[in-house]
Homo-oligomer: A and B are copies of this chain.
Amino acid sequence: MLAAASDSSTTDLGGSLAAPDVPGILLRAGTRFRVRRGQRLPERHADDLVHYFVCDGSLYLQNELPERRRAIVATYYPGEFCSMLMAGEGDGESLMAAEAGTVVRVKADTVGQLASADPHVSARYGRWMEVRAARVEAHAIVVGRLTGEERVAAYLVEAVQMRGETHDKAIQVDLPFSREEVADYLALNPDTLSRFLTRMKADGLVTFLGHRRAVVTDWRGLLQRCPISDLLLKVYQR
């Protein structure tokens, strides 16, 4: 989203006019490497706090609580930047790869220096933090105030927005998450999630090709099942 166009309804901090290649600047300052599914991305590399830029695949931020509870707080898609800002591994937080992909690791200090040297970088960084905050706010609404089925619909809306491909009248999405991960993202348990999915299959909203490839057969209906779909469409954009 560092790479995305700015939304006209918000402040752009003056940085988006004739902006240089901000992501490129950051990427050249880091090291690229591959990650595999389930890999943990440490918050430090050789004593330095690091940030990660997603090139390919997707990452998520999780928080492990006592009694085998886990919260997945946010998902990061290609073009987006992620880091554990204030919480650390000591608080049970960790950044995980949801699937195989490539990321660029950049030292947090380097990002800070680039930002203070270049107002474009700084503006983009602030802007991305805004998007990130807005997404987590939406996510808090999802897990806090939506019913189980509404949450599942919300997840599918997000997934379609970020990864959907239109194949003649239907939309296909490769879900980056296993059922257990989706459940922890939606603050449901996997069994309950499964029940809602079968109900939605029966209602003709969605089908599956295998376990991870969803086929949305009624996009309109899906949007109607989620009370905050408008908000989600705003904050989740490629």
Contacts and interface: CB of A to CB of B under 8 A. Distances in A.
Interface of A: 7, 9-15, 49, 51, 61, 63, 65-66, 69-71, 73-74, 83, 85-88, 90-93, 108-109, 111-113, 115-117, 119, 122-123, 125-126, 129-134, 136-141, 143-146, 187, 227-228, 230-231, 234-235
Give this chain's copy count: 2
A227 B123 CA distance: 35
A76 B219 CA distance: 37
A235 B131 contact: no
A183 to B, nearest CB: 11
Contacts of A122: 13, 115, 119, 122-123, 126
Contacts of A88: 9
A111 to B, nearest CB: 6
26 contacts: A10-B108, A11-B51, A11-B109, A11-B111, A11-B112, A13-B122, A65-B145, A65-B146, A65-B227, A69-B227, A73-B140, A85-B131, A85-B133, A86-B134, A93-B231, A115-B122, A115-B123, A115-B126, A116-B123, A119-B122, A122-B122, A125-B126, A126-B129, A133-B136, A140-B140, A144-B187
A130 B91 contact: no
A169 to B, nearest CB: 29
